[in-house]
Structure 1
Amino acid sequence: MTKIGIVLGSTRPGRIGDQVAQWVHERAARREDAEFTVIDLRDHPLPHLEDPPGFSGQYDDPRTRAFAAVVASCDGFVFVTPEYNHSLPGVLKNALDHVYVEWNTKAAGFVSYGGVGGARAVEQLRLVCGALQLADVTPQVTLPLATEFDLGTVFAPGEHQFAALDTLLGHVVAWSAALAPLRAGGAEAAVRGRLDAVVEALRAKDLEALRRIYAPDVVSFDVEPPLQHVGTDAKLKNWAKVFTIFEKVDYELRGLTITASGDLAVGHGFGRVSGTLKNGVVTDGMWVRATFVFRKTGDGWVIVHDQASVPFDVASGRGVADLEP
């Protein structure tokens, strides 16, 4: 189901934005075409751009990784924002700037509040969303302090605001669903890039580069016993063994097909390890059936499961290792 994040963009003490975000969430929860979750920036105390730009989807700071994972899990967003000095809050701009690919090809709508309803903050947010490849919808909810808040502090929206919010939510959900094919295409490209990184790391015999591509809890069904290898260290032991046997390693993938949905992706094809052994013998290796399962996290797409297998001859019970794709 489509998942929409309601981003509460103020962390100021005494804020009234939490009342607005709660109103949006309660109204949205009545819908059956999407699920909604509140993303309160107080729960994500991000540093001030200490990470490198997030174009790769990989982040050094654990706070950024945690925030990226939350953003990545959503298909669209409703930003609840005040207007500070004709603009959006700095904490919201900082959060928007901290990650990049996690925002891409998703929908965005705006619920704003302030002296003139927060309209000028939304004007600037629309420009930022364009740079982040967020598709901002036209309908918006504007909440002036003088008319929608008792004494400027207690939120009491007029009846017309409910219809405006319903319209906004409908557009965000519809656009989020419509953009799903683009997100899947972007995910496929990202996963292919990660598999390219696996090939490069194998050719370089770089175990630390491989470690960054596997999830800590990866479960691997490899061609070597035991039946499964659990955890990154167990998986890397297999590759370390390959590196001790080969002077020069090559790895090839053929017929790779990738299917992505949400934060999961599956790839399957044929893989082959080949190269020059320590004794100087050149070997073409054998082709195996290769399957990869990826999960999108704050560290980008990581392998949570892989499997390598060969067919076996039923009569003899032996594996068949001389087949080619």
Structure 2
Amino acid sequence: MKFLIFLGSVRNSTPPRPARLGERVTKACIQCFEQRYGEHQVELIDALDYPLDTVFKPHFAYAQGKAPAHLNELAEKIQACDGFIMVSPEYNHAMSPALANLLNHFGSSLFSYKPSAIVTYSAGQWGGMRAAVGMRSFLSELGCLSVSAMIHVPKAQTVFAEDGVTQVGENQDTWFDYFGRTFNQLIWWGQATKQHRLEVDPHAMVGDFKTSPSQRNAP
């Protein structure tokens, strides 16, 4: 299967020191996947690589064939993958606005009927867990329900080095065992939903909202 790992931080400056802790956590997640789940693929989607206009215009708002190439390419990747890993810092007890902005550029039908995993981190002791609470609701609205196990990395600057390898005094196997509980759930649900999508087209069965918000209204 193919999973996309979204790094939802564009804060590439100091303070804080060291800058952009999410890169370390994301690299560690990728290393864990490659070492323990080598039969599956994982691809990094870095929000820093997607500079977006200040005037919000999502991918689905463009006329067919007129959307920017980088949005078209990402839309195709989202549609083709089997699940998502969402990596976010915590800002004011909420998920990264950069991550929310990037995800909101695409319709929920691209994400739906696939599982997701939540990974949060912080320089402090809570590991971004308060942001994770809000991320559950956000991801459920996209249709990529998050698995029950989550990953929180407190004091990420002392846990992982810049290359994602654990720092002296930290045990990589212990951390990867911790990651594994979440990733195992993600893979289990990914396999189940992929198989069922092959048997039953969920978009045809449920019906996507395509023409008007009034389609959501009760009679």
TM-score tier, shorter chain, comes to 0.7 to 0.9
* Amino acid in the other structure paired with 1:8: L
**2:5 and 2:84 in contact (8 A); partners too:** yes
Q: Kindly tell me the number of residue pairs found equivalent between the two proteins.
A: 188
Structure-2 residue corresponding to 1:136: 146
Matched, 1:43 2:67: no
Query: What does residue range 243-254 of structure 1 map to in structure 2 within 5 Å?
Result: none
Shift of 1:43: 1.9
Shift of 1:174: 1.1
**2:113 and 2:193 in contact (8 A); partners too:** yes
Shift of 1:151: 9.4
* Amino acid in the other structure paired with 1:102: L
The alignment's C-alpha RMSD in Å is 3.0
- Pick from 101, 105, 121 the counterpart of residue 98 of structure 1: 105
**1:51 and 1:60 in contact (8 A); partners too:** no
Separation of aligned partners in 2, 1:109 and 1:96: 15
- Residue 56 and residue 182 in structure 1: after superposition, are their counterparts in 2 closer, same or farther (change >3 A)? farther
Shift of 1:44: 2.0
Higher relative contact order (CA 8 A, sep 6+): 2
Query: What does residue range 56-95 of structure 1 map to in structure 2 within 5 Å?
Result: 60-62=66-68, 63-95=70-102
Shift of 1:187: 7.2
- Pick from 20, 23, 26 the counterpart of residue 18 of structure 1: 23
* Amino acid in the other structure paired with 1:83: E
Q: Point out where structure 2 has 5 or more consecutive residues left out of the alignment.
A: 13-18, 209-219
Query: What does residue range 1-325 of structure 1 map to in structure 2 within 5 Å?
Result: 2-13=1-12, 14-30=19-35, 31-48=37-54, 50-51=56-57, 54=60, 60-62=66-68, 63-100=70-107, 101-114=109-122, 115=124, 116-145=126-155, 148-150=156-158, 156=166, 158-159=170-171, 160-184=174-198, 185-186=200-201, 189=204
Shift of 1:80: 1.3
- Residue 72 and residue 57 in structure 1: after superposition, are their counterparts in 2 closer, same or farther (change >3 A)? farther
Separation of aligned partners in 2, 1:53 and 1:22: 28
Shift of 1:152: 9.7
- Residue 152 and residue 180 in structure 1: after superposition, are their counterparts in 2 closer, same or farther (change >3 A)? closer
- The one-character-per-residue Cα deviations of 1:189-233 (angstroms, maximum 9, x if unpaired) are 49xx9xxxxxxxxxxxxxxxxxxxxxxxxxxxxxxxxxxxxxxxx
- Residue 77 and residue 97 in structure 1: after superposition, are their counterparts in 2 closer, same or farther (change >3 A)? same
* Amino acid in the other structure paired with 1:10: S
**2:117 and 2:150 in contact (8 A); partners too:** yes
Shift of 1:85: 1.4
Separation of aligned partners in 2, 1:50 and 1:29: 36
More helix by share: 2
Q: Point out where structure 1 has 5 or more consecutive residues left out of the alignment.
A: 194-325
Q: Give me the identity figure in percent.
A: 26
- Residue 60 and residue 16 in structure 1: after superposition, are their counterparts in 2 closer, same or farther (change >3 A)? same
Shift of 1:182: 4.9
Shift of 1:47: 2.9
Shift of 1:70: 2.2
- The one-character-per-residue Cα deviations of 1:6-28 (angstroms, maximum 9, x if unpaired) are 11111111311111111110110
**2:2 and 2:83 in contact (8 A); partners too:** yes
- The one-character-per-residue Cα deviations of 1:52-81 (angstroms, maximum 9, x if unpaired) are 574999674313222212212211011111
More strand by share: 1
- The one-character-per-residue Cα deviations of 1:99-149 (angstroms, maximum 9, x if unpaired) are 12211111100111013101011111110011111121011111111xx43
Shift of 1:163: 1.0
Larger Rg: 1
- The one-character-per-residue Cα deviations of 1:216-253 (angstroms, maximum 9, x if unpaired) are xxxxxxxxxxxxxxxxxxxxxxxxxxxxxxxxxxxxxx
Residue 111 of structure 1 aligns to a residue whose secondary structure is strand
- Residue 186 and residue 137 in structure 1: after superposition, are their counterparts in 2 closer, same or farther (change >3 A)? same
**2:116 and 2:146 in contact (8 A); partners too:** yes
